[in-house]
Structure 1
Amino acid sequence: MNTANIDNIVTEHEALIQFLYLAPVGLVQTAADGAIAMINPISAQLLMPLAPQACLDNLFDALAGVAPELRHLCASFSAPSGMICEGRQIFLHPDSRARIKRGTPEVLSISLLKLDAHRLMAVIADVTEQVRRERQLKQADAWLNAILTNITDYAVVGLDRDGNVSAWNDTIGRVTRFGTEVVGQPYSVFFPDGGTTDARQLDRLREALANGWNLEEGPRLRADGSQFWGSAMISPLPDSGALHEGEADRAYCMILRDISDKHAAGAAAHSESFSDTLTGVSNRRAFFDAAAQELGRRRASPRATSVVVFDTDHLKSINQRLGAAAGDLVLRQLADRLRATFRDVDVVARMGGNQFAVLLPSTDRAGALIVAERVRAQVAALPGAPDGSMIAFTVSAGVAEMDDDANELTALMERAEQAMRRAKQQGRNQVAGWSAADDFQLPQHAPQL
């Protein structure tokens, strides 16, 4: 190769490096294991606050606390090259004030491209405002869809001021198979056990009153006990008096539709955005989205709200003795137990690594302690299998209830995590409730072995 060709290659390489550093989005090139080979300033700015001990040398390690599934996603991508994920959203902070104070984003978007067997390329961007706009558009689209689609397959349910079914008609029978026995019952009669709470029902009426309508999708119940995926839109009736609190003759109309087919078609896309890849429970984004809505309802109508944080005991030791696949199995076993124990209205999520969190609406500290202890005992009783299909392990848990001093999710989560660390310090395999002493007596991190 002559000197001119070498000079051209050097010039092209320098131009590529300059493009990398000046690109308007974050760009990172890594090895297959996530070790960073090249990173531009935007990526460094976005990732540095997430990196443990501010050590930004591995992409997967930097994102382990907010997107633990990425390492598994890349390791399981078998094609020699290609797009591993595109525009995957990662939720960082639970409340907008954290972003305002720290100048950091709430939501990142990451695309991962496998260049070859040894190299990955990541594109990272702050999409906080884009996500906010998309949510607004989604709400508007859902409202229009509820009105304009499948208009022949719906139940029209009249509700009184308290949300009780005021009258029966043929459409209710056609969609739900309930008869006149539903008259006078709260509209929660159409929900499976654990699917709603008394406070949540009233929340929806208040939101319909304030906004003109309220739309919610989820599992619904027929009279024979079978379930379907339903879309329910509640609107105040315009002729039922002035729309303000205290109006004795206020009434509502609920349009209930069976959208099981539509839900099945979109379930895969929803799962990719809102579910943890390894365990199938909600991911951080889904947790913080649901928490933001619940805390907004709590501000409008105060009620007990609690959080439980679960952390597996000695997971690092299990990984070292039995391999990473055994550690993954432990996390799936815990996720299965959490799903089986908590209500549908509760939000179960994997927050990162071996930590899970559960948001419990309309639940006080005592109630949260009871159900957390139930999970702990059930996990401790799980037997290990000689063939490795089941692994014996234990969990520690921390419980905190929201109060005037912890009225944002960040403070509530910190309290629950402090209580969990105390449970670990006191011997693990136990549940602890937060107390004021935790703020002063506990170190920042408890041992995780």
Structure 2
Amino acid sequence: MSPQDMQDLAAEHEALLQFFYLAPVGLIQISLGGEVELMNPLSAQLLMPLSQDGGLSNLFQVLESVAPELRRMTADFPTSQGTICDGLRAQLTAGIRGKQDPKMLGISLIKVDEKRMMAVLTDLTLAIAQERQLKYNTAWLNAITAGVTDYALMSLDQNGNILEWNPSIGRVLKYKKADIVGKSFSMLYKEDGISPERIIDYLKEADEDGWSLTEGWRLKADGTQFWSSSMIVPIDDVAAEIDGTKVLSENQGLSYALIMRDITNRNREAGTRLMAISSDYLTGIANRRTLFEAAELEFRRWHRHPRPLSFMVIDADFFKKVNDTYGHRVGDLVLCHLATTLKNTMRDIDTVARIGGEEFAVLLPSTGLDGATQLAERFRNNVEAATVNADGVEIKYTISIGISTMEASVSGFDALLDRADKALYEAKHSGRNTVKIWRS
């Protein structure tokens, strides 16, 4: 190679390094084990708040608390090159309502060869509000573009009770008039699928926003489930207008229209994409981002209409010993068992999530400390009594749980999470396999 070629190569290398360090996104070169080999300043700025010890030597370790699936996704990636994940979202904080937006980090991971990977980090905080509005508009579009033959229309009173029956209810939901009129529309949900407070939430949201939109599994009269897009809108309960003054009908109260559409087929088509965005890679339950979004909504509801709201954090006791003794594959089986047991123990209205390596959490709407403690003890007992079978080896494990509850002094979800973490710390340092409640 001639001196000129060497000079040109050095200039190109210098230009590449300059681009690397001045890039408007975080760029990191890492090994397959996550060891950082090269990092630009923006990456350090984004990652430093996540570091437990101030070090940034291993990307997987730094992101373990917010994106625990990265290590497993890398290990499972089948080829020597390609994109392992593109725009994986890790929610860092819940924010404070009206004061501070939630912090969100976007993570893309590309396998360059058998030894190296590139990570791209993006601060997505400013995009959150726009995306939520887009999601809301999409839900509205789903509600109004479904076929005209798959909707059920019913009127509700101010408590959510069904006032009238029409043929669409029989056609879509299979209910007869005597089965449904006068009863709460909660009968269309599975048991524990909705609380009395949540019914009022939907009606109040309709009052404030003009409509309330939700999607989820609902029940027909024969017990079969269907995925519904449900819209509640307030309607004037007016019998007449005299001299410009509206006169209420004999119901003397607010009323609403509930439109339920069967979009089961559309939901199946979008199921894979939805799971990738909202679910934990290993266990299939909600991920950290989904938990934070649910918490933000519950906080808005609490500020409008205070009611019991509790939160629990769960940690598998001595989990590192399980990994060291039996290997990570068996450790993953234990985590999946924990997640399944947790999901089966909690109610449909609870948000069950994995928020770290062996750390899980549950958001408990309409639940005070007594109810949260009962659920936590039931779950702890279920885990203690169970056995995980891995290749003929029977493994038993226990868990520790910390609980906090909402009150006026809690500024946001981050504060509620911090209180539960402190209660968990007390549980782990008082012998483990126990439940502790945060006390001021």
With the shorter chain as reference, the TM-score category is over 0.9
Amino acid at match of 2:119: A
- Cα offset, 1:423, TM superposition: 1.2
Kindly indicate whether the alpha-carbon contact (under 8 Å) linking 1:240 and 1:250 is maintained by their aligned counterparts in 2: no
Deviations 1:127-180 (A, max 9, x none): 112122011122122213311222221000111121100011111111111111
Counterpart of 1:200 in structure 2 is 198
Deviations 1:171-219 (A, max 9, x none): 1111111111111101101001121100000000000011110000011
Amino acid at match of 1:145: N
Kindly indicate whether the alpha-carbon contact (under 8 Å) linking 1:65 and 1:353 is maintained by their aligned counterparts in 2: yes
Between the aligned partners of 1:211 and 1:105, the Cα distance in structure 2 is: 22
Secondary structure of 1:12's aligned partner: helix
- 2:32 aligned with 1:35, yes or no? no
- 2:165 aligned with 1:161, yes or no? no
Counterpart of 2:234 in structure 1 is 236
Kindly indicate whether the alpha-carbon contact (under 8 Å) linking 2:94 and 2:102 is maintained by their aligned counterparts in 1: no
Aligned with residue 220 of structure 1, among 212, 215, 218: 218
- 2:291 aligned with 1:287, yes or no? yes
Counterpart of 1:120 in structure 2 is 117
Kindly indicate whether the alpha-carbon contact (under 8 Å) linking 2:333 and 2:390 is maintained by their aligned counterparts in 1: no
- Cα offset, 1:95, TM superposition: 1.7
Between the aligned partners of 1:138 and 1:267, the Cα distance in structure 2 is: 15
Secondary structure of 1:167's aligned partner: coil
Kindly indicate whether the alpha-carbon contact (under 8 Å) linking 2:315 and 2:359 is maintained by their aligned counterparts in 1: yes
Kindly indicate whether the alpha-carbon contact (under 8 Å) linking 2:237 and 2:253 is maintained by their aligned counterparts in 1: no
Aligned with residue 127 of structure 2, among 107, 127, 130: 130
- 2:10 aligned with 1:18, yes or no? no
Between the aligned partners of 1:105 and 1:154, the Cα distance in structure 2 is: 36
- Cα offset, 1:8, TM superposition: 2.0
Counterpart of 1:256 in structure 2 is 260
Amino acid at match of 1:355: E
- Cα offset, 1:425, TM superposition: 1.2
Counterpart of 2:243 in structure 1 is none
- Cα offset, 1:21, TM superposition: 0.5
Aligned with residue 149 of structure 2, among 144, 152, 156: 152
Structure 1 vs Structure 2 CA RMSD:
1.9
Amino acid at match of 1:346: D
- 2:278 aligned with 1:278, yes or no? no
Amino acid at match of 2:232: I
Between the aligned partners of 1:407 and 1:43, the Cα distance in structure 2 is: 29
Identity %: 44
Alignment of 1:20-419 (within 5 A): 20-96=20-96, 100=100, 106-180=103-177, 181-240=179-238, 248-385=252-389, 387-388=391-392, 391-419=395-423
Kindly indicate whether the alpha-carbon contact (under 8 Å) linking 1:105 and 1:126 is maintained by their aligned counterparts in 2: no
Between the aligned partners of 2:392 and 2:215, the Cα distance in structure 1 is: 39
Between the aligned partners of 2:42 and 2:98, the Cα distance in structure 1 is: 20
Task: Describe the shift of the 1:252–1:71 C-alpha distance in structure 2 as closer, same or farther (beyond 3 A).
Answer: same
- Cα offset, 1:97, TM superposition: 6.5
Structure 1, unmatched stretches of 5+, are 437-449
Task: Describe the shift of the 1:51–1:105 C-alpha distance in structure 2 as closer, same or farther (beyond 3 A).
Answer: farther
Amino acid at match of 1:13: H
Between the aligned partners of 2:173 and 2:15, the Cα distance in structure 1 is: 65
- Cα offset, 1:389, TM superposition: 6.7
Kindly indicate whether the alpha-carbon contact (under 8 Å) linking 1:99 and 1:105 is maintained by their aligned counterparts in 2: no
Task: Describe the shift of the 1:105–1:375 C-alpha distance in structure 2 as closer, same or farther (beyond 3 A).
Answer: closer
Secondary structure of 2:296's aligned partner: helix
Between the aligned partners of 2:395 and 2:406, the Cα distance in structure 1 is: 35
Query: Taking structure 2 as the reference length, what is the TM-score of the superposition?
Result: 0.94
Between the aligned partners of 1:99 and 1:9, the Cα distance in structure 2 is: 50
Q: Which moved more, 1:166-175 or 1:401-410?
A: 401-410
Amino acid at match of 2:327: G
Secondary structure of 2:285's aligned partner: coil
Q: Which moved more, 1:88-97 or 1:157-166?
A: 88-97
Deviations 1:374-393 (A, max 9, x none): 00001001124372575311
Query: Taking structure 1 as the reference length, what is the TM-score of the superposition?
Result: 0.92
Amino acid at match of 2:54: A
Deviations 1:6-49 (A, max 9, x none): 22222211111011001111111111111111111111111111
Between the aligned partners of 2:99 and 2:6, the Cα distance in structure 1 is: 47
Amino acid at match of 1:86: D
Between the aligned partners of 2:393 and 2:172, the Cα distance in structure 1 is: 42
- Cα offset, 1:240, TM superposition: 4.1
- Cα offset, 1:4, TM superposition: 2.4
Between the aligned partners of 1:363 and 1:20, the Cα distance in structure 2 is: 50
Kindly indicate whether the alpha-carbon contact (under 8 Å) linking 2:298 and 2:365 is maintained by their aligned counterparts in 1: yes
Counterpart of 1:443 in structure 2 is none
Deviations 1:56-77 (A, max 9, x none): 1111111111000111111111
Task: Describe the shift of the 1:30–1:271 C-alpha distance in structure 2 as closer, same or farther (beyond 3 A).
Answer: same
Kindly indicate whether the alpha-carbon contact (under 8 Å) linking 1:234 and 1:254 is maintained by their aligned counterparts in 2: yes
Task: Describe the shift of the 1:249–1:99 C-alpha distance in structure 2 as closer, same or farther (beyond 3 A).
Answer: closer
Secondary structure of 1:112's aligned partner: strand
Task: Describe the shift of the 1:386–1:414 C-alpha distance in structure 2 as closer, same or farther (beyond 3 A).
Answer: closer
Counterpart of 2:242 in structure 1 is none
Q: List structure 1 segments (4+ residues) > 3 angstroms apart after TM superposition.
A: 96-100, 238-244
Kindly indicate whether the alpha-carbon contact (under 8 Å) linking 2:312 and 2:363 is maintained by their aligned counterparts in 1: yes
